[in-house]
Amino acid sequence: MTAKQSAMIERRRKLLGSAYKLFYDNPVHIVKGEGVWLYDADGRKYLDMYNNVPHVGHCHPHVVEALTKQIATLNTHTRYLHENILEYAERLTGKFEDELDLAMFCCTGSEANELAMRIARTHTGGTGFIATSFAYHGNSRATFEITTSDIPEDERPDYIATAPVPDPYRGLYTGPDAGEKYAAHVREAIETLERRGVKPAAFIIDTIASSGGVVSPPPGYLSAVAEIIRDAGALFIADEVQPGFGRTGRNFWGYQADGFVPDIVTMGKPMGNGHPLAGMVTRSGIVEEFAAKGRYFNTFGGNPVSCAAGLAVLDVLEQEELQQNALDVGQYLVDGLWSLAEQHEVIGDVRGSGFFLGLELVEDRERKTPATALTKRVLNELRERGLLTGPIGPDANILKLRCPMVFTRENADQALDTIDRALAACLH
């Protein structure tokens, strides 16, 4: 670590406080981004396999041009008429099934989830929520309370109940009936709320369960839960902040892997390629009671500049066929990681699809013992070798691989070689 880095870290501590955390034992001082690359203050470039916010690549020229052109013309709130928000709402809802026909905009995924919670409560008359264990849904008060990765069970409000993360590798159930068995726990969570005198308003899930370990729910789980939760008079909220916009390759939205339609879909992070843009899409009928009781206004949500960025992201996704690229290159990465597993016993599982993958490291494959300490060493070794990623999961033993959607096979080859060498260096 250089003297300048040490000084910046101390300055950061004094100005921002200890709640802000940095990645790596030797933090990276990033000054520039381009495509799949990040550059530090010394000009060294790093392959970015962590950042899902610059969805179509850092500083994509089309997005930059759209942003700068609009901000040089006008930026204001949504109480004036403007074409951008209308065009964006049309194109965004066009990515959904016909019944999901209404969009509402804000700035962050936290805001989107909180808005969904408010609407669910108004529509159903319930106040309770069911989330999966070790989930992340935001940092406002309401969304933090359903962020089960951060709040111990005995400190959660009575209106929050949890169901196990539907993990078919490390969790309670494996095999073809795992989805059905996991879904039964949602019924138990409903009963828990009812014993407390709480009527459920909604079930919410990150449809690839990122914080739970990049978990793709077993087939049938999401659709079974939707039936159970609706029978209880509640709604199904699909949190697509991370898996949405084609990231999984197979579908534009994560929930579509299970062939059903949620009641509300929330989204954020990648919508504006780094510009703060988020929102939710639902059926117009669900919002009627909410609208009857008050107005919705967000000073910055859906402003002309944000919508210009959102439109540009959709342009790039479509014109450069990036969902197909995620499917093809993502599968190439998965195959390569499984090949590495033949050489490195520490690799216990490779999961996910497209550009949302998890590489689980274990001390013992049979027992699936989490290799938490090793994972930290590997992360730091990857950083030193020019590849950036991050840990995830309850035991922080999973490498979360979320490449920008412009990631190529050449980038994948470099990543596989770097991971191979980093594992070898840490194991020998």
Residue whose pair of structure tokens reads 């880095």 in the numeric block:
5
pLDDT at 325 over 90: yes
C-beta of residue 241 within 8 angstroms of C-beta of residue 109: yes
Domain region containing 142: 61-319
Exposure of 242 by Cβ count < 10 A (0-12 exposed, 13-18 middle, 19+ buried)? buried
**Cα–Cα dist 389/399, whole Å:** 7
d(CA 242, CA 252): 12
From 319, 344, 359, the end of a domain falls on 319
Q: Residue 324 corresponds to which tokens in the numbers above?
A: 């197909």
Distance of CA 345 to the CA centre of its chain: 29
Rounded mean pLDDT, 284-297? 88
**Residue where a domain stops, chosen among 264, 296, 319:** 319
Determine the pLDDT at residue 149.
80
Q: Is 415 found in the same domain as 358?
A: yes
Are 116 and 264 within 8 A, CB to CB? yes
166, pLDDT greater than 90: yes
Average confidence (pLDDT) over 148-164: 86
Mark whether 312 and 325 lie in a shared domain.
no
3-state secondary structure of 393: coil
**Same domain? 392 vs 304:** no
Strand 387-388 with 45-48, pairing: parallel
Beta carbons within 10 angstroms of residue 16's beta carbon:
9
Q: Degrees (nearest 5) of the Cα angle 284, 53, 314?
A: 55
Please count the residues of the chain: 428
Task: List beta partners, residue 388.
Answer: 48
Looking at residues 192-197, what average pLDDT do you find?
A: 96
Shared-domain flag, residues 210 and 75? yes
- pLDDT, residue 2, reads 81
Q: Could you tell me the pLDDT band of residue 242, with boundaries at 50, 70 and 90?
A: very high
Specify the 3-state DSSP secondary structure of 156. coil
pLDDT of 360 higher than 90: yes
Q: Which residues pair with 103 in a beta bridge?
A: 281
H/E stretch holding 388 = strand 387-388
Q: Model confidence at 251, in pLDDT bands (50, 70, 90)?
A: very high
pLDDT reported for residue 253? 97
pLDDT of residue 6: 87
Summarised one tens digit per residue, pLDDT across range 10-34 is: 899 999 998 888 899 999 999 999 9
As a whole number of angstroms, the distance between CA 45 and CA 48 comes to 9
Q: Over the chain, what is the mean pLDDT? A: 95
Task: Evaluate if residue 246 carries a pLDDT over 90.
Answer: yes
Residue 108 and residue 426: Cα distance in Å, rounded? Answer: 38
Residues 143 and 43 in one domain: no
Where in 41-121 does DSSP place strands (E)?
45-48, 102-106
pLDDT at 153: 77
Q: What is the pLDDT of residues 369-424, one digit of tens each?
A: 999 999 999 999 999 999 999 999 999 999 999 999 999 999 999 999 999 999 99
Task: Note the pLDDT of residue 148.
Answer: 84
Helix (H, G, I), strand (E, B) or coil at 348: strand
pLDDT bucket at 101, cuts 50 / 70 / 90: very high
**pLDDT value of residue 18:** 87
Do 314 and 325 belong to one domain? no
One domain, residues 203 and 305: yes
pLDDT above 90 for 139: no
pLDDT per residue over 212-239, tens digit each? 889 999 999 999 999 999 999 999 999 9
Count of H helices and E strands in the chain?
12, 16
Q: List, for residues 34-82, the tens digit of each pLDDT value.
A: 999 999 999 999 999 998 899 999 999 999 999 999 999 999 998 888 9
Which residue, 224, 261, 266, is CA-closest to 119? 266
pLDDT at residue 131, as a whole number: 96
Q: Is the pLDDT of residue 116 over 80?
A: yes
Same domain, 256 and 131: yes
The token pair at 31 is 């000054």
Distances (CA, A) of 94 to 71, 90, 236: 26, 6, 20
Tally of structural domains, the chain: 2
Residues 43 and 84 in one domain: no
pLDDT confidence of residue 147: 85
Q: d(Cα 25, Cα 44) in Å, to the nearest integer?
A: 18
Q: Which residue has the higher pLDDT, 294 or 362?
A: 362
Assign 357 to helix, strand or coil.
strand
Q: What are phi and psi of 289, to 5 degrees?
A: -65, -40
Listed in sequence order, the residues at least 6 apart from 287 whose beta carbon sits closer than 8 Å to its beta carbon are 102, 104, 119, 123
* pLDDT at position 144: 87
Residue 419 phi, psi (nearest 5): -65, -40
Q: How confident is the model at residue 141 (pLDDT cuts 50, 70, 90)?
A: confident
Q: What is the DSSP string of 233-279?
A: T-EEEEE-TTTTTTTTSS-SSGGGGGT---SEEEE-GGGGBTB--EE
Residue matched to tokens 């962050």: 108
pLDDT of residue 265: 98
Q: Based on the domain organization, do 367 and 219 belong to the same domain?
A: no
3-state secondary structure of 419: helix
**Out of 75-79, 160-164, 198-202, which region has the weakest mean confidence (pLDDT)?**
75-79
Tell me the residue type at 59: C
Is there a single domain that holds both residue 311 and residue 327? no
The CATH number of the domain holding residue 40 is 3.90.1150.10
- What is this structure's pTM? 0.95
Q: What is the CA radius of gyration of the chain?
A: 21
Which of 293, 319, 345 is the C-terminal boundary of a domain? 319
Q: Are residues 315 and 332 in the same domain?
A: no
Beta strands of 107-193 (E only): which ranges?
128-132, 160-163
